[in-house]
Structures are given as C-alpha cells and as structure tokens.
A = this chain, B = another copy of it.
Amino acid sequence: MAPKRTTVRDLRRQNRSTLLSTLFFDGPLSRYELSRLSGLSAATVSNVTGELVDDGLVVEAGSVDSDGGRPRVLLRVNPAFGHVVGVDVGETGIKVELFDLTLTQLAAFDHALSPSSPAAVASLIASAVRDVVASAGVSASTVLGVGIGVPGTVEQGATAVVHAPTIGWAGVRLEELVAAASESAWPLYVENGAKTQGQAEMWFGAGRGARHVVIALIGSGVGAAVVTDGGVYRGATSSAGEWGHTTIVYGGRPCRCGALGCLEAYVGAEGILDRYRKARGRELPGGDEQSTVAALIDAAPRSKTAARVLEETAGYLGAGIANLVNLFNPERIVLGGWAGLALGAHQLDRIVAATRAHALRHPYEQISIELGRLGPDAVAVGAATLPVAALLDRAADPRKPATRADIA
C-alpha cells in the first residue's frame, strides 16, 4: 500500500544485481570492463565480484591481453550454478525444456494434450518437469525454478491467476495446482506465453540491445508483447498488449471475442483463411491452419485471389503495426508467431509500406521492423527466462532467501 521505499544495504544487492546482469548479457568481461560498464569503482567491482565468485555464481574464464600490462581476467556467469525449466502450455500440448543457467538447452519433452482440466494439466506439468530433469541426469536440487508460459492472461499477485478462454480456464491458480502435484518445492513463475516469447526475443533474438520494442505475434491468435524501457509492460492487471482485439475496422468482421472489426479477425490465421475462402467462393482443401496458410502463400504467385488476400492482409497488418508505433513509439518492431513469420518472409516490404502509410511520420522514422529470430516456438525458453531473471534480479539463490525485503 505504502510506497515502501526503504534503502539500507539493498544498495549492495542492487550492485550485485547490476554486475551479475551485465555479465550475463554482455558475455565474459574483465573486472576492468565491468567497472567501466557499470560506473562502479574498480574497488567495488573487485569486492562484489569476489563475493559472486565465492557464491559460485560467477567463474573465471581465461584471460586476455591488455596492451602492455597485466592481462585481464575474464569473468562469466557460471552455467553450472544451477538449472532452470521452461514450460510452454499450448492449446494442443505442452513442451518442457531444461536449460543450464545460460539458457543452453539440455533436454526437452513434448506431450500432446487434449483439452483437460487445469488440475490434470498441472499434474502433467509436474511429472513432465520431473522427467526432463531426470532424463538429463541433473540433480533435482540444482533446479533454480520453473517458468510456465500459458496461452491467456495472467494476473500477477500473491499467486498468479490465469484466464485462458481458448482452453477453457477461468481464474485458475496454476501455481498452487502445480505445487500440489509435485513433491519438489521449486519456485514457480507463471506468465502469459506471448510475454515469455517476447522476453526470449529481447534476450536472445531480434530485440537485443533495444529498450523500447513491440513484439507482434501472429498465429491463430494475435497478440503483442510490449517492452518499455527494457522491461515487459504489464499494465495494471498484467493483461496489457491485447493487440489482437484492438478495433481496426469499426463495425467490421465478427471476431471470436464477440466484438466486431478486431485486428485478429483480419490478420489472425483463421481470419486470413476465412477471407480467402470467401474471396475464392469455395471451400479450401483440408489440413491444419498452418499448412493451409502456407498453401495460400505458395499459391500467391499463380492466383490473383490468393495474392489479393495476402496484399490485403499486409495492409491490415501494417495499419495494426502503425497503431502500435503511434501509441508506444518503440524503436523496433519484431514480427513473430508462425503466421507472422510466414507473412513476413514474403510480404515484409508490403507490410512496412502499409505501416508507413498509417503511422505518423515522426514515430515511424524511429523504427525498424524485423522478423523474430527465434522461430515460432520460443515460449519455453522465454518461460525459462523467468527464474533466471529472478536470479539476476536478486543476485542470490532464489530458493529460500527470505530476507526482510520479503515483507513488502
């Protein structure tokens, strides 16, 4: 309730966190470079990194010449300090992946999943996590946490509450369910899948180095992860970024959300195919959405109708992106999601042109539009990112470090 802005020696924690994060993101660095990058004095860097090495979080990694003098000793985050697990709860299955601390994948499991109760999903998650850890021969005690990406909005609070209409979840406390289904007391982190995928692009993909980015994700659904000032923007109740249900054609096509003219009804896979179907005047050949969209794109060079549908799609999408540009004024737009990548691969110029036509000149000139680099399946890595982020943030083992800061 109160601003709760205490400050004592959390200053030290701050600096530990800054240094550890710098090491994590900017590769092996010498103490000297750390000092320059962080603005901290060499003395403090030496002192703090000493602690980090003692704690096992950081290890030395060779040395490098410094023209003329004592060589610099490189430091880096210790990949073996611990492991993290990322879970991607999708509409048709779950993926569970195990990583070391630097997010190198060590093992992965996929499970098909017919629509089932939250409790069933939770127990599947718990056992799959156990399995993936065991299969990699990793001791359970080294797992620092489990991140879970879900296809719906996640209200963060004392315990995360998931609302995911597409899989029939309403007010599900996934954390509690998973905790109940598993013996180990690993810290759990639940987050919207689009946001975890966005964070993955920020850490390892097309978002690297930028502080204001919108990751636009187009698949069956349409969503966006908005990164402002380096962090994923959540809004008051963590449901920010619902770009897909933004009105782009007032009074237009009905959307599965119940409203008219949502962007998703035009550029979501279903919307694209439905428009194609209507333009052709006859049914499309069977197959799943993904291959049908691929077929549509393939057909474009031969079929006027297909080309027109794609062209219109690029127009709508450009207008939708322009709205993001005007409202958020990012420096970069990353287009992702399986449909987004497919469209982008063939239509990026058109999409950019449409964006330009709809955006204001000034903010438009700031942006670059790029394709995502991690492919359409980065939800699990992104989820695994969550426990790592927690570690970097506190710069201390996330398992059981109840300091007085927790009272907040």
* Other-chain residue from B38, B326, B328 in contact with A245 (beta carbon distance below 8 A): B326
Q: Is the CB of A329 within 8 A of B362?
A: no
Complex CA gap A243/B15 in Å reads 39
Q: How far is the CB of A271 from chain B (nearest CB, A)?
A: 13
Q: Does A252 contact B (CB under 8 A)?
A: yes
* Other-chain residue from B226, B237, B322, B326 in contact with A363 (beta carbon distance below 8 A): B237
Contact flags A1-31 to B (C-beta < 8 A → 1, else 0): 0111111000100110010001000000000
Q: Is the CB of B235 within 8 A of A330?
A: yes
Closest CB pairs A-B (n = 4): A235-B329, A240-B329, A242-B326, A6-B39
Complex CA gap A40/B5 in Å reads 7
Residues from chain B with a CB closer than 8 A to the CB of A38 are: 2-3, 5-6
Complex CA gap A4/B38 in Å reads 5
Complex CA gap A240/B326 in Å reads 6
User: Which residue of chain B is the closest to A213 with respect to CB atoms?
Assistant: B236
Residues from chain B with a CB closer than 8 A to the CB of A330 are: 235-236
Listed A/B pairs (22) with beta-carbon separation below 8 Å: A4-B39, A5-B38, A228-B228, A228-B233, A236-B330, A237-B329, A239-B329, A239-B362, A239-B363, A240-B327, A241-B327, A242-B327, A242-B360, A245-B326, A245-B359, A245-B360, A246-B322, A246-B326, A247-B322, A250-B319, A323-B323, A327-B328
Complex CA gap A301/B3 in Å reads 48
Complex CA gap A132/B141 in Å reads 70
Q: Give the contact-size bracket for chain A.
A: 35 or more
Residues from chain B with a CB closer than 8 A to the CB of A257 are: 360
Q: Is the CB of B250 within 8 A of A235?
A: no
Q: Which residues of A from 247 to 266 have beta carbons under 8 Å from B? A: 247-252, 257, 259-261, 266
Residues from chain B with a CB closer than 8 A to the CB of A239 are: 329, 360, 362-363, 366
